[in-house]
Amino acid sequence: VLICSCSAEVAGYADVAKQIIDLAVFGAAQNRSYRRLADFTDTIGNRVSGSNNLEMAIKYMYNAMVQDGLDVHLEPAKIPHWVRGKESAEMTAPRAKTLAILGLGSSVGTPPEGIEAEVLVVQSFEELKHRASEAAGKIVVFNQPYVSYGETVAYRGYGASEAAKVGAVATLIRSVTPFSINSPHTGWQDYQDGVKRIPTACITVEDAELMWRMAQRGQKIVVRLTMGAKTLPDADSFNTVAEIKGWQHPEQVVLLSGHLDSWDVGQGAMDDGGGAMISWEALSLIKDLGLRPRRTLRTVLWTAEEQGGVGAQQYFNLHKVNMSNFDLVMESDLGTFTPIGLQFTGSDAAQKVMEEVVKLLAPINTTKLEAHGEGTDISPWMQAGVPGASLHVADSRYFWFHHSEGDTMSVQDPRDMDLCSALWAVVAYVVADLQEMLPR
């Protein structure tokens, strides 16, 4: 396809793009995605993989989207079922102090009486290697500085096994966040095969730094850790799917998504209630305007993303046989704050098309197309060569609240969510309605 014809074709959608934006931002749908999110998270609360709450969340969204007049079905998936149980930690020397903790997903528990041991504080895996001879029988505290989530999260993910290799009995990991008011931040962690599994929890930035300073003074630090964590057999769950069928190529699909599960703290409003809601809202906006694209618009609300994209991987395995019919896969999982632009992964030719598509977002000032679509749930598709897109928002505060009790409706803004919904709907609709699929 000649680029000039493509840019003229895309420019022809300026009016419909403006209709979608007006409906979302100024019209009858104003504040709707925010209201839907508040109703959902206030009713269900948090919804960790394997929990009854997650089952209720799936039923809730199924019913809500059916009531909205969309084509909805559920696709089964098996998901991990880790339970936190009762947990606590206190420093007993050099002075008594309660430590705020959150056990990490998949962690084993301690014996019922807990583990009391001397602490070794390190700032990096490197330092742990140097001081390996000091680690046996100790609780290793990682006080790694926050560089970026992508880099620093390795300590949460692999800290337990790295410490176990040198004989540690447990690990406490400084929460992966740039900002703290003594808030622990949980998350999944991975035990390495063949390495002893030791209990692991995150502690606050403040407590990690406190113990680091004490250690620097040569003080002996002792901590008692008690965790009732356990892993139960895999649970039955579902990916939740809603569609507007395409009129010309119903077998071809533009997929929009967010994940429905969250951690077992806070409300999961930001991670990823917002992403799930704008992915539903986008379909509502298009349906409300009586629009029907050539291709099918499919919203998928993933299950068990937090455990490593578990529901999404099973969806991929089931549907990859139809790979050539997947036009674009989209995911919102970095917050629904003020939108800045669209992140995109695809061929140079596809990028040219997408650059034209985002120009249609001029009324809301988000015409930037950036490199690298990202998202745990869509990454299998992108790795297989399917074009992928993610929402880029002003996310500097995202990791302040991430995986903590602070992830509640209070961090969300209705106007920001309207803007995100408008962007999401315009991109999905236009790509689904163009003459040609995005070039691979």
Indicate the helix (H) or strand (E) that contains 77: strand 71-83
| Domains located in the chain, CATH noted | 1-81+234-433 (3.40.630.10), 85-228 (3.50.30.30)
What is the C-alpha to C-alpha distance for residues 432 and 434, in angstroms, rounded to an integer? 6
Structure tokens at 265: 């703290």
Q: Looking at residue 395, what is its pLDDT?
A: 87
Could you check whether the bond before residue 94 is cis, i.e. omega within 30 degrees of 0?
yes
In contact, 200 and 107? CB cutoff 8 Å: yes
Residue 70's contacts (CB-CB under 8 Å, 6 or more residues apart) are 242, 243, 244, 283, 284, 287, 299
Question: Catalytic residue among 87, 162, 243, 305, which?
Answer: 305
pTM to 2 decimals?
Answer: 0.97
- Of 285, 237, 259, 319, the residue nearest 70 (C-alpha): 285
Q: Looking at residue 1, what is its pLDDT?
A: 47
Strand pairing report for 339-345 and 388-393: antiparallel
Provide the residue-wise pLDDT of the chain in tens; the chain has 440 residues. Answer: 455 578 999 999 999 999 999 999 999 999 999 999 999 999 999 999 999 999 999 999 999 999 999 999 999 999 999 999 999 999 999 999 999 999 999 999 999 999 999 999 999 999 999 999 999 999 999 999 999 999 999 999 999 999 999 999 999 999 999 999 999 999 999 999 999 999 999 999 999 999 999 999 999 999 999 999 999 999 999 999 999 999 999 999 999 999 999 999 999 999 999 999 999 999 999 999 999 999 999 999 999 999 999 999 999 999 999 999 999 999 999 999 999 999 999 999 999 999 999 999 999 999 999 999 999 999 999 999 999 999 999 988 999 999 999 999 999 999 999 999 999 999 999 999 999 999 99
In contact, 339 and 391? CB cutoff 8 Å: yes
Establish whether 305 is a catalytic residue: yes
CA distances from 321 to 73, 277, 381 (A): 20, 28, 12
- Of 284, 264, 403, 385, the residue nearest 333 (C-alpha): 403
